[in-house]
Structure formats: C-alpha cells, structure tokens
Structure 1
C-alpha cells in the first residue's frame, strides 16, 4: 500500500560560485527547517503482505509518522493514538501497559514489525519510525486479532547516509528525557543504527517515580542485489507506579467519582508508595530476504522475546461507607459490640450509599501481585510474494506461514483483605480513609516461599493466502483465507486446543484517477484466556469469532498530497471476554459495533501538515443481563485535528507552530451502564525554531521547541478499569526541548 501523506519539498536555497577559468558551477544546498519528507510513509503491506496503492486498498490504515510524534512531543502510545479516530482508552493495568479500544473492541496486544508481542509493556516510542492503525479484522496477515483493529509499530532501520540526531527534554514534574540516534553506513553493503534513550520523571500523582532506559540496535547487510539480511535488537528496563487512580461510590442518583463529592485533590493516591511495576524487555529479530526472480520474493523471519517483571499493588476490593458518627475510627478501625459482626463490614459495600457530604468513605484493600514473572517467546514467519497472470487477469499473491511458541512462569501472591480489625485482635488490619489517608498499613512486600509457580505454555500456528486480482483497470478483488491452530497448557491454564478458518473478500473500484470506493467482508478468530486477578490462575473460555462488513470511499487532493477516507462498518462478535467490577474475567455472549469514520491526512501546501478524523461508534453488548448496553469505555463520538505550519522563507525561516484538539465523548464506566465518565476535550500547542549550526555542514541543524499539553487544564477521567479503578487525566504540562540533526 502506498500511503502518501504528501510531498512537500525541503526548503532549499541555492548559491553558485564561478571558478576562475572554469565554466562549471558548484551547487551549495542548505536545508533550513524540518525535512518534510519525514511525514511521509511511502507504503505499508499490513493487510496483504504486498504493497497496494492507497486508492486501490479496500480497507483503512491510518499512519502516524515519527515526525508527528516529535512535533506533538508525544511520550506515550495512548497520546499518539489520539491522532486516529474512533479510539478510546482503557485502564491499562494501573497505567503500566498500552490499553485501548478500536471500533468499540478492546485491544489484545500491540504488534512490533508484524510480530504479535506477548508482553504488553509500554511501547518504546524513541525507536519508532511510524505506527499504523489497521482498522477492522486483520486476521489474514496478522493472525488472531480483535475485530476492531490493531496497532503495529514499525521500528527504525539503518539509513543509507550518515546521520546523528538527539534530543534533551525537560518538563513539568521533573520530567527529564535524553535520546541519541546514530545511523552509520559501515560499507556499501552494511549499515548500522543505534538508538538509546533515558527518562526519569515524577507525576502530578503523589509518590510517583518513573524510570526508563532503552537501547535499540539494527543492522542491514546486502549480500547481493537479490539477497539481504536485516537484524534488530531492543532492550528496555522500566519502573513505574501501578496507579489505580480514583474510585466511584454509590449515591442515590447512581455511582459518582469520589473526587466530585468530597474535597479530594486529583494528586492523592489511594494506594501505597510501594506500588510498582518493574520490567525488563528483550526483543531480537532477523529477516532474510531473497528475490527469486523479477516477480517473486521470499522472506524468512525469526524473533525471540524475553522479559521479566514484578508488580505489587494495594488492590481495593470494595468501599465501606459510614455516617459521620458511624462505628469507625478515623484511622480505619471498626468499633463492634459483637466480634461476630466483623464479617458484616463487607455487606456495607453493597447496601450503604453516599448520601451526605459528612459521610465517611473507606476502602477494603489487600497487597497482591505477580512476582518473578518470566516470558520467553519464539516467532517464525515465512512469506512468499509475487505476481502472476492467469488468462486476462493479473494477480498479486502472498503465501504465508507463521509460528509462535511461548512460555510464561510467575508466582501470584496476596495477603488477606483488611476488615477494620487490628491484627492483635485477630483481624486483618485497618481500612483506608480516602479523606484522611494513613499510609503504611499494608504489607509492602511479598515472599515467594511456599507459593505455587504458575506456568502457561502457548503454541500458535497459522497459514494464509492472499490474492489481489486486477479484473480491469478500475476493478480489483481481494480474496484471502487463513487457518489458525492454537494450543495452551500448563499449571495455571486448562488444556485448550482450538483451530479455525478465517476468510476475507473485498472489491475496490476506481471512480476516477483521484477517487475510489470499496466493499469488504472480513473475519477474525481469537482464543479466550485470561488471568483471574484474585487467584492468579489462567482461565479459558469459548473462543471469540467475529465478522465485519465495510463500505468505504477514498479520495486524493492537491496532486495526491492530501488523502481522505470515509468508512461505514458493521461488526458482529460472539463470546466477548470482558471483566466485572472486581476486575475478574467474564464472558459476554456477544457484542456488535456499527459506525462511521472519516479521516484526513497530508500536506496540502508547502510547510503545512494536517491530520484529522471523526468517528461515530454505536457499540452494544449482545445478550444477557447487560443486553443493548454500551460497552465500558467506548465513546460514541471522538474527534481529532492537528495542524502545523512551518515558514518556508524570509527572516523567520524554520519557525513552526502546531496546534491540536482531541475530543472524546462520554463513556460508561461499567457494562451495566450505571454511571458515566464525562466527555472531555484536550487542546495542545507547540512551537519550534530550527537554525543551521554555523561552521558545520549545510544541513546540520538545531531545533528549539516548546510544547503545552492540555492547555486549558481540563479535568477529566480518561478510562475505567471498574468501579474502584478510574484513571485520571494529566493536567496542563509544559515541555521544552533542544534537538540536533547532523
């Protein structure tokens, strides 16, 4: 797929020097400002295995390039995804992993160069070349995926010329970031690139420390004109708080966020200072490419992922609400006339409501977490692509096979839930007062001694074929079929074996040289396994099956520099894996999602970049108690627009400014639709100035940038992980940076 975000030429100034007794001239090229080609991604093969032009592809893929990440000063995948319509956020295990919904369906993973990453740690954006948001089922090429779509992160590769770039950034809450990116050709056959970054940061939330260090190495070796080998490796270690945000409480008018009822600052944590998620991540991959002839190419890829993690949290079970003169002390100990009433406090969470500002709200909590979690996964892919002619029709063909074998080992350990009775009296400790918190009443560590090692071994095999048939100059068909086999076993998982066939059919018709329309039918298959957060054991459920029918229109403007999509879809899915208010996995009988999306991206004029989108998502849970309800965290309406302009001449040449508006409509906080999280709008601004460095090369530059995120200081709640896990949006922050490019 050739996805041209546009073609804005670099600003080039020419000067010539006449040399004595010589009629030739020497051309001096000076580049001032941002290389606009860095907004361009020429093509992607995400849905087919072979490139298809933008107007000819019968689906929608949104591209978010690295330069947009830099202009918006994006540090997190969730920020980047604001630039793609129809995406809502989810809780993300207390903000420690990437968690989002596309077209109303929650992601199952993030892909890396087409490999389905086993771990869902925060994505490293410093090594990102671009990311692609594939909308709708993409199981033919990618395998077992959610029907709403997926995110595939494409990492940086060696460049054909020498380049050294880097950035130093400083922001609110002592946010410090350093990055160095070096690409160097070793010979005419070998190139190497190294990208390293380090971040130390606090947060607007209490006792928060974030630390992340990454290094990525990639190389490209050209054995011959027909054969090449690409290799890459990434290492990352990270420590960040496991922050469950705030809570809701039952009121006479339904559940409400406690911060809106009591004078509780958004900075206050209801957890403990010891809550942390620590992880190490290794990912190595290699791809051997060989051109069999002018029409056919074979690619063989292998990868190995190894990671380790420990997480520790103060998990809330329920709220205990007392009147102002209720039988509880301020430090969380319940006063009982009869010791047998100890168990009754758990009943308070279901019958008591918050009906007066003087009410006292406490949390029943415990310490738990996964300790010494180790993941090892091996991947192997084979892809044969080529061109053939049968009769009067041309065919672009892709034959693929993929294999994935992984093992996960961990201990899951927990303490008893507090019951408001002192341990000296046989109880399990104090409750937590959200208005007058006393920290340090929970165990701050967990021992693996005597614990059971939980293991899970998973094996996936897939085979697929895609055939893109050029019927006429205007009409094209896409036909695909995939077979999946899935097996999981281990001490913490039931023995599961599933297999499935997934077809896809699509037709694309070119209305003109600049417009096309398409219709597609696609399916997806996903085995259902989930972790019981109370026991730590893996549980299996019936597999998910889904299908989507989509109608779309595409157009190009300004000589192909601006591209637009409009899509209308209907997704039906059975056996949806979700979670209840206690964060326990449950199976919903079905879910549907109908909607419309419009997206726009490109460079309509020199120096200007635009990316915008709107999505309407009508998602409903199928049968059962919550039938016809909207799924949790799914917004009916989302809107995004970002536009930037950089002066292309004059004394202020290299000066650029950009601004964006990101709107997310109201979302329900639970599948029962008992309460809502309000809609919110975030406005960002950014300004930069690029100058040449005197005495160095003509293209060597420094860039000074200032960015303001959430300019209007909007207070909002970005997602719900359940009644006791409400994520809090980040307030206004200011970021300054200096970057160089030699």
Structure 2
C-alpha cells in the first residue's frame, strides 16, 4: 500500500482468524446492495510505512476502491484515472501499457504493485485490484520517481470470511469477459484467495482483438503471536495489437492537423500483434518484536515478463501525399525484476511520542530484446491508408540489433512521525539511494558492439511535513519533498542523460463534513524538475526542465443514506524550460490546464421499498485542451464525456445476483485521448452499451 510519505509494507490479510464460534450471519446489506459509503477513501486499507490513516498524513492522496471500478464498469485502469484531479491518460505505447500524467508530469516506472516499483510492458488486469492509490507529489523515502506522483495497486488478499464471486461482462463492440474470485479460511491459521479471469474482446478499432488470461492464487498464515506470512503468485497472458492510432499531416507554417477519418481507421497492417506473458511471485512476512508496538517486516518479489511484437509505423508523408511506412518490432523481450525489503517499525517516547519505520530495499532489473526494422514501403494516403497493401518484410530487415539493459538500486530509508502537540504532528523522512546501470547494443547485421555503463549514482532524498488539527473536523497540512530518477539508457541506447531531479512544495486542508459523511481535500502545489527527457515518435529529447503550479479539490462521501458521490476539479499551469530555448514556456505534451469530474450514484436501501436493491449511477468528466507535442504544432482539443449505469441486486436466499446495464460516452463524443508524437495519436471510444451479471455466494 501507499500513502503519505512512504510505500508501506503490504497490507495484511483482509480479516484475522475468527475468534467466535457458530454459524456466520450475513449483513443485510450483502443482500440488498453494497455498503453505505461505497467510494469513501477512508474505508480503503491505505497507510504509510507507519500505517497512518490518510486523514492524518500531510499530503494529498486519492483512492480508487474496487466498488468504483465495478459501478463504472472499468475494464482498464485508464478509465477511472479521469475521475481524479490533475490526472490524465498518456499514449501508453500504443495502448499496451499503463501510462498516465499526474500534476503535469508523465510517469516513468511510477506504477507500484503492493508497494513495489514495477516496470512492465503489459496492462494490469483489473480483476486483481482491491484498490488504487494515487499519491500526489514526490515520496522521498522511496527514492526514484517523477515528482508529479505515483500510482500503487493493492491486490486482493485472503480473508477468513468465506465468500465467492462469479462475473461476466459484455458490450456492444464485442467485449466478452468472465472472472471469478474465491476466498475463505482453510483452518484457524490459514486462509486462501484465488482470482482468475479470461477475456476475448473486439473493439471499435479495426483489426483489434484483445485476448488475455489471468490467474492469481494467494495463501496467508497468521500465528497466535501475531506473526504472519503471505505467499502470492500471478500469471498473465495478454495478446493485443499495438495501436498507434491516427496521424497528423502538415498544414503550413510549422502547423499540423490530425487526420479527419473514421474512428475505426488504422494506419498499420492486419498482421500487427503483440504477445506478453508474465509470472510474478511475492512473499510477505511480519513478526512482532516483544510487543505489538514493534514489528519486523520483510518482502521478496520477483517478476519475469516476456514480450514479442510486430507493428507498422508511419515514418513520413511525401509531398505527393503518399505515406511512408515500415514494419518493425521486438523479439524475445525478457524483463526480470527482483526486489527485497527488510524494515522495522514501532513507537516510543523520547520527550515526545515518536512513531518510526526504518529499513533497506534492494532492486535489480534486467531487460534484453532484439529490435528489427524493415525497409520503407510507400503507398496509401492520409484519407485512405488501406489503398496500399503493406507486406510483412520483417524476415529481411534493414536493421537488427540485440540490446541489453541492467540496473541495480539499493537504499536505506527512514520515516518518523513526531507528536509536537496533541494537535500537531511533524513528519520527517529520507532515503540514501545508490544506483548503477549498464547497457550493451550489438549490430546483428554487421560488425560492432557498443557497451556503456555509468558510475554509481548517489542521491539523498528527503521530506518534511506538518499536520495541524485546527478543529475536530478541520486539519491543515504543508510538506516539502524532493526526488530523483536516473535515465539509465533510453531504449537500450548507450547515451546517458543526467538524472532527473525534482522537488515539491504543497499546502492544503482536509475537512470532514456532515458528521464525517463527506471528506474534502484541497491543495496548492509548486513542483519543479530538471533534466526532463520527452519522447516524440520514439526519439528521446532532453528538453531541459519543467515547472508545474496548480490547485485541486476533491470531495468524496455519502451525504445521505444510499447516495454516494466523488467530485473533483484540478488546475495546473505547467511549463517547459528548453535547453535551446525553442520551447520555453510551452505546455508539456498531453497536459491540460484543467480537468473536472463528478460521479454520483444512488442505491435504494429501504427494505420496505419496492425499489430496494436498485442502483443508479452517472458521471461526467471534462478535460481541457492539450497539445500533441512539445513544439505545439498541433492540438488534441478538449472534451466532455457522460457515462451512465444502472444495476439491480436480486436476493437469492443469503446470496445475491447483480445485473448491470450502462452506456459509456452517452453523447457519442468524438475525442482524442493522448499523443505519442505526430504519427501516434490515440482515439477515444465512441458510445458503448455494456452489460454484466455477477453472483455472490
């Protein structure tokens, strides 16, 4: 889990072994619907290394519970990001990876899974998600990250309360997905959980079939003295084409425009494909030290991922209007990540009450692959790319190179909360990071091998924050944090850019309203980063620096029985600082100045009502205008989307069936989601009708 100033030790199993004997009694809400406060982040199991409640942590944190994913019928994580302030989606390597922008800064490897920084070439299957935490700004005691923030996925863990869930989903463009989730006790000390899913879905895009399978068994043990061990495994197989989307064409004066073609139009060939498989294993151990005031915790994590892909890229447009395209891809892309953490946490009195966590982390990552490109093929036009049939000439490449990148990171860390007064808490944290990397590039069609390495990079990152509880339901906070992230070798090239360095100042307030039925967070921030590298059409460019200043407000809660809301608005003034001054003051690619959202749902709870079990939900998201490149040669425009949904719970004894029906993009708005360059513009989905059936028992 993540929150506040740290990546926490993963959460323990959902429930301890039951103490009482006798038959279990199901809560009436399990039959009539869902819990009262379905979207309230305070009900999510989120904490810092010190297991603090997020209302007590001096920074901004947004939490996406599983219930919100279900009510919005979110089939990918990107579908829920847009409901949070100053968070927008990015290109994601043709829609094959998780990719987002927080407070104007694009993530690099800032996706975390159960507190582990995870570089991945695959999508994350939503079936395994218990909650998603969005941590705003740098988290200094984890070391490497971009300063805008990070996302952590908390996966489902075993529970000693037995329950089973079956689900199937479908939509008007050919989605076909099924999943199961089963958990419960094996004995007083052991509990299990196993989650699985299978999908074979078409899309509104031509020649787009997504096929994936997922399986995640987990076993937990809790001893009488409070010690615990959790062992988990994940398998995922994901097949989908790499979709570069639309292209732009020159209109004169250094300006470009996005091609006005049907949303289904693709500029690549029908043989485009991408297969990715990963195996993940993790072990979590917690041991009480003398008393429950101190714990020794350890974690081991390993991931092996293999990817093979072939796709087509538009390279340019000739003066006669014909497209220049080529086939390229990556074979035998193997990514291995090993991570280990050992930490202790507890509390003591030293003139003032102190809570502290300290430990060490080690991470080693190796990635190797063979990259190839075919000869240019000329034909087809912007308006009709299919008028020329592309051929697969990858067996006769014009370039073929073997690449290998390695990186090792090691860092001791510490975080402490000091109660200066009953209403004032000071948070301090830091990490000393050592990072080392190397790269090798071999030309397989000729002679020549290039080997590069960079010396050990040493950095101290630090944070300080204060939380003041001015009144019972009103708190104010302020924080400072800095961070760094080495560039290593971009895409296996041995050119090394200087490490990114960033810092943030943030002030804000957290307020409980209506007897804690509503929770509001407001914040102002100023973030600066140096040595920023942007990618345009696959080429790394050192742009210089970036500064983002802004504000955001979010409200979540349950104003009255049955009614739940999430509302947010964000504003960011982000500017690039160019090395050569050509793009000074320009807004970064894909970053809007503002976004806003509202999701509201109502469930009829009164058992005497004939509508009991019925739920209605609707949401609206607004994203401001964005530029498609750092030079501002073309715009992506702004858009507003409306989604609606209805669900109904049918009691079957002590069990329940849920029926779902809804519409995404109700107004059928045409919009562009993100840009990866002049020939890589992603299209948004049209109006889509969806349905689903689930059974809990």
5 Å-filtered alignment, 1:665-704, equals 665-693=624-652, 696=653, 698=654, 700-704=655-659
Alignment correspondent of 1:373? 333
Q: Helix, strand or coil: the match of 2:55?
A: helix
- Two-structure CA RMSD over aligned residues (Å): 2.1
5 Å-filtered alignment, 1:310-709, equals 310-322=308-320, 361-391=321-351, 393-418=352-377, 420=378, 430=379, 434-435=383-384, 437-443=386-392, 445-446=394-395, 451-492=400-441, 494-496=452-454, 497-532=456-491, 537=493, 539-580=495-536, 582-623=537-578, 624-649=581-606, 650-693=609-652, 696=653, 698=654, 700-709=655-664
Q: Helix, strand or coil: the match of 1:511?
A: strand
Q: CA deviation at 1:42?
A: 5.0
Alignment correspondent of 2:297? 299
Is contact 2:407-2:488 (8 Å) kept? no
Q: 1 CA distance for matches of 2:121 and 2:385?
A: 35
Q: Helix, strand or coil: the match of 1:720?
A: strand
Q: 2 CA distance for matches of 1:188 and 1:449?
A: 63
Q: 2 CA distance for matches of 1:79 and 1:139?
A: 28
Residues 2/579 of structure 1: CA separation in 2 closer, same or farther (3 Å cut): closer
Question: Is 1:95 aligned with 2:95?
Answer: yes
Q: CA deviation at 1:583?
A: 2.4
Q: Helix, strand or coil: the match of 1:80?
A: helix
Q: CA deviation at 1:554?
A: 0.9
Q: CA deviation at 1:441?
A: 2.3
Q: CA deviation at 1:29?
A: 6.0
Deviations 1:25-81 (A, max 9, x none): x99964311234664555779774112233321101100000110000001111121
Is contact 1:690-1:704 (8 Å) kept? yes
Deviations 1:286-325 (A, max 9, x none): 1010111231111100010001001211111111242xxx
Q: Helix, strand or coil: the match of 2:80?
A: helix
Q: 1 CA distance for matches of 2:399 and 2:501?
A: 40
Residues 36/225 of structure 1: CA separation in 2 closer, same or farther (3 Å cut): farther
Q: 2 CA distance for matches of 1:255 and 1:172?
A: 37
Residues 28/499 of structure 1: CA separation in 2 closer, same or farther (3 Å cut): closer
Q: Helix, strand or coil: the match of 1:205?
A: coil
Is contact 1:364-1:432 (8 Å) kept? no
Residues 439/284 of structure 1: CA separation in 2 closer, same or farther (3 Å cut): farther
Q: 1 CA distance for matches of 2:367 and 2:397?
A: 16
5 Å-filtered alignment, 1:198-277, equals 198-252=198-252, 255-260=255-260, 264-277=261-274
The equivalent position to 1:713 in structure 2, one of 642, 646, 668, is 668
Q: Helix, strand or coil: the match of 1:312?
A: strand
Residues 736/27 of structure 1: CA separation in 2 closer, same or farther (3 Å cut): closer
Q: 1 CA distance for matches of 2:631 and 2:106?
A: 17
Q: 2 CA distance for matches of 1:296 and 1:315?
A: 56
Structure 1: state its 5+ residue gaps. 4-25, 323-360, 421-429
Q: 2 CA distance for matches of 1:27 and 1:362?
A: 70
TM-score in terms of structure 2 length: 0.91
Q: Which has the higher strand share?
A: 2
Alignment correspondent of 1:337? none
5 Å-filtered alignment, 1:68-107, equals 68-107=68-107
Deviations 1:575-621 (A, max 9, x none): 001123x3201112110000001011122221111111110010000
Q: CA deviation at 1:211?
A: 0.4
Alignment correspondent of 2:281? 284
Alignment correspondent of 1:308? 306
Q: CA deviation at 1:224?
A: 2.8
Q: Helix, strand or coil: the match of 2:336?
A: strand
Is contact 1:645-1:657 (8 Å) kept? yes
Q: CA deviation at 1:185?
A: 0.8
Q: Helix, strand or coil: the match of 1:540?
A: coil
Deviations 1:115-174 (A, max 9, x none): 01121411111000000000000131x331110000000000111111110111111221
Q: Helix, strand or coil: the match of 2:127?
A: coil
Q: 1 CA distance for matches of 2:33 and 2:611?
A: 10
Q: CA deviation at 1:446?
A: 4.4
Deviations 1:392-439 (A, max 9, x none): x11110102111112111101111223x4xxxxxxxxx4656425235
Q: Helix, strand or coil: the match of 2:452?
A: coil
Q: Helix, strand or coil: the match of 2:214?
A: strand
Q: 1 CA distance for matches of 2:45 and 2:145?
A: 17
Q: Helix, strand or coil: the match of 1:541?
A: coil
Alignment correspondent of 2:12? none
Q: Helix, strand or coil: the match of 1:271?
A: coil
Q: Helix, strand or coil: the match of 1:542?
A: coil
Question: Is 1:739 aligned with 2:688?
Answer: no
5 Å-filtered alignment, 1:44-83, equals 48-83=48-83
Q: CA deviation at 1:365?
A: 1.1
Q: Helix, strand or coil: the match of 1:668?
A: coil
Q: 1 CA distance for matches of 2:395 and 2:599?
A: 46
Q: Helix, strand or coil: the match of 1:126?
A: helix
Q: 1 CA distance for matches of 2:186 and 2:592?
A: 50
Q: 2 CA distance for matches of 1:729 and 1:574?
A: 32
Q: 2 CA distance for matches of 1:300 and 1:372?
A: 33
Alignment correspondent of 1:329? none
TM-score in terms of structure 1 length: 0.86
Residues 258/490 of structure 1: CA separation in 2 closer, same or farther (3 Å cut): closer
Q: CA deviation at 1:225?
A: 2.5
Q: Helix, strand or coil: the match of 2:70?
A: helix
Residues 238/439 of structure 1: CA separation in 2 closer, same or farther (3 Å cut): farther
Is contact 1:46-1:134 (8 Å) kept? no
Q: 1 CA distance for matches of 2:622 and 2:40?
A: 26
**Matched pairs, number:** 659
Q: 2 CA distance for matches of 1:607 and 1:279?
A: 42
Q: 2 CA distance for matches of 1:485 and 1:2?
A: 22
Which stretch has the larger CA shift, 88-97 or 29-38? 29-38
Question: Is 1:136 aligned with 2:134?
Answer: no
Q: 2 CA distance for matches of 1:316 and 1:547?
A: 38
5 Å-filtered alignment, 1:101-140, equals 101-109=101-109, 110-140=111-141
Structure 2: state its 5+ residue gaps. 4-23, 442-450
Q: CA deviation at 1:87?
A: 1.1
